[in-house]
Amino acid sequence: MLTRILLGFLISMPAGMALADRGPSTAEERSQALDVIHQFQADPLNPALAAKIQWVVKWTMEVPDIRLDLCTSFFNLPKADSKDGQTLFNAMVFAQTAFVLENPDKKDDGMAQVEAGVDGVMHTYEQLLKVNAKDKQPFLDKLIKRRNEGTLKKFVEEHASSSCNL
């Protein structure tokens, strides 16, 4: 599923935006990325953020010093071309990117990255439901229930460690 989403993103990039070899991220880029991520997290449906969102996704894929352990195999996200699929996928990528940028000492902690991604998806999902309560995702509802019961961390650790090579 991740491959399909990334391939879809790469295909949708304008010509000339192909991934290029480049050096590590700069402090200015990291600050800019965090600013966009925080804007997205506050208002994930804001159409004015579209170009900035695309920049952050592209930048995250290009810079060699940011490596994300994206794990979607146990995470039943809607398909990328569905109404909320790309928004929820961006929420996962952005939450993990923010985690790595804000916790450089834990940048290689794949499990912590996955946990941050799950948290980011749930937060965004809850915001999407405020806009349209009919856009329910049963799997995400179950994750929220687990979070409220205090069993989410264990669930994520069990599933991610067995299906994500962490």
Residue 73 inside a domain? The answer is yes
Residue 20 inside a domain? The answer is no
Residue 10 inside a domain? The answer is no
In 3D space, the residue among 95, 77, 86, 91 whose CA is nearest the CA of residue 137 turns out to be 77
Give the pLDDT confidence of 26-72 residue by residue, as tens digits.
Answer: 999 999 999 999 999 999 999 999 999 999 999 998 999 998 888 77
Q: Count the Cβ atoms, other than its own, within 10 Å of residue 74.
A: 17
Residue 51 inside a domain? The answer is yes
Range of the domain at 50: 26-163
In 3D space, the residue among 33, 35, 143 whose CA is nearest the CA of residue 88 turns out to be 143
Residue 65 inside a domain? The answer is yes
Identify the sign of the CA torsion 13, 14, 18, 23: negative
Residue 15 inside a domain? The answer is no
**Could you tell me the pTM of the whole model?**
0.81
* Count of domains forming the chain: 1
Identify the sign of the CA torsion 43, 69, 75, 99: negative
Residue 52 inside a domain? The answer is yes
Residue 97 inside a domain? The answer is yes
